[in-house]
Amino acid sequence: MKKSVRLIPVCNLKRQQERKEAQTLAKYQKELTQSRQQHSELKSYLAEYYKSIQDQHGTVKNAAQLGLYQAFISRLQQAISRQGEMVKQRELSVQAQAKKWQLANHNVKIMEQLIEKAKTEESLIADKQEQKILDDRPYRKESGFR
């Protein structure tokens, strides 16, 4: 079996791995986008909440109500902070996965180049063998071999 033919299944496995890495990267990118959106929504909600408190500045009736506002704002700020950390973690995951995908993609290209090189070598060998047969033909006729 020719080397180029033997390398095809290996190349197919490399392509399969590259597709898997690309799918994982797409999944991580989607998760990152969702995390960023949630982070942005939380920050917007906090800004709206601050604005609504300012609009109601004179309506706070007692210290307990003010304490509830402050507790809610504190929890919301903690959620924003946690979501910001989640965004950072997902960014790192996307970067790491992008490197894995790039490596897998590079491996596919290398395998494709190896296959092309093997095909070129096989073609050269076949051409040389054919040329040798053609070169030997006149001698065979003279000596009686066919």
pLDDT for the residue numbered 56:
75
Half-sphere exposure of 128 (CA within 13 A, CB side): 6
- pTM for the whole structure: 0.77
Digit-coded pLDDT (tens) for 7-18: 999 999 999 999
- The full length of the chain comes to 146
CA 113 vs CA 12, 36, 46, 48: distances in Å: 13, 40, 55, 58
Domains, the chain, with CATH or none: 3-55+70-140 (1.10.287.1700)
- Round to whole Å and give the CA distance between 95 and 89: 10
- Round to whole Å and give the CA distance between 61 and 72: 17
Digit-coded pLDDT (tens) for 40-59: 999 999 999 888 878 876 57
